[in-house]
Amino acid sequence: MAGSQDSEYLDIGGPTYVCQKCGAMMWYEERVLKHTRPAVPQFSMCCLRGRVVLPPYPRLLEYLYDLYHKHDRNHKFFLENIRSFNSMFAFTSMGGKVDNSMNNGRSPPMFVINGENYHHIGSLLPLPGNQPKFAQLYIYDTNNEIANRMAAVRYIMSAYALTFACD
C-alpha cells in the first residue's frame, strides 16, 4: 500500500554517481535512460547534458574557508553555532506551528508547518538596558553598527569559552 504507515521506507542509498558533464552528485535512479542499466549513466536534471554551464563559485576568503574546512576549535565552534550566527544577522525569523509527528525515525526528517507561515521581526530598538540583536544590530546606533555586531559575536564566543573551560 503506497503511503501506508506500515510500508517500509525505500532506501536507495546516497547519490554515488557523478554527472560526466557538470560533476553533480546524482542517484542512479535519476539517469536519463531508465529502461537501460549503463555502467556510466547520463543525467539531465542537473545541467541538461552539459547545455547549462554555471561559473564556479569564487573561493571564500581564507578566514571563512578555514571556518568551514580547517577542523580546529574555531571550525567546531562555527559549525555548532552557525544557526545563531545566521539568526543574529537576519532581519526576521520564521514562525509557524511545526508538526514533528511524521519524524518517527523511519525516514529522512521533514519540516512540516501546519496553518500559516509567518515572520517575527521584533522591536526595532532594544529594550532599555538590553544589547541590540537581530535587525536591531543594523538600526540601533548606526554609528557603531560593527561594534554592536561584534559585541553580539563576543557574547556567543564567551559562552563557547565557558563550555571549553568546563571540559
The C-alpha cell at 152 is 553580539
Within 10 Å of residue 93's Cβ, how many Cβ atoms? 14
Q: Is 151 in a helix, a strand, or coil?
A: helix
- Residue written as grid cell 535587525: 135
Which CB contacts under 8 angstroms, 24+ apart, belong to 71-78?
73/164, 77/157, 77/160
DSSP labels, 21-45: TT--EE-GGGBS-TTS--SS--B-T
How many percent of the chain have pLDDT more than 90?
A: 28
Q: Please state at what angle helix 145-166 crosses helix 73-80, rounded to 10 degrees.
A: 110
Tell me: the pLDDT tens digits for 14-68? 899 999 999 999 999 999 998 999 999 999 999 999 999 988 889 989 988 999 9
* Structure confidence at residue 10 as a pLDDT band (50, 70, 90): confident
Report which of residues 66 and 96 the model is more confident about: 66
Which residues are within 8 A (CB) of 93 and not within 5 positions of it... i.e. 6 or more apart? 87, 119, 120, 134
Give me the chain's average pLDDT, please: 79
Residue type for position 53: V
SS3 84: helix
What global pTM score does this model have?
0.40
Better-scored residue on pLDDT, 5 or 129: 129
State how far the alpha carbon of 32 is from the alpha carbons of 28, 38, 92, in Å: 9, 10, 41
Residue-wise pLDDT tens digits, 126-144: 888 887 776 776 665 666 6
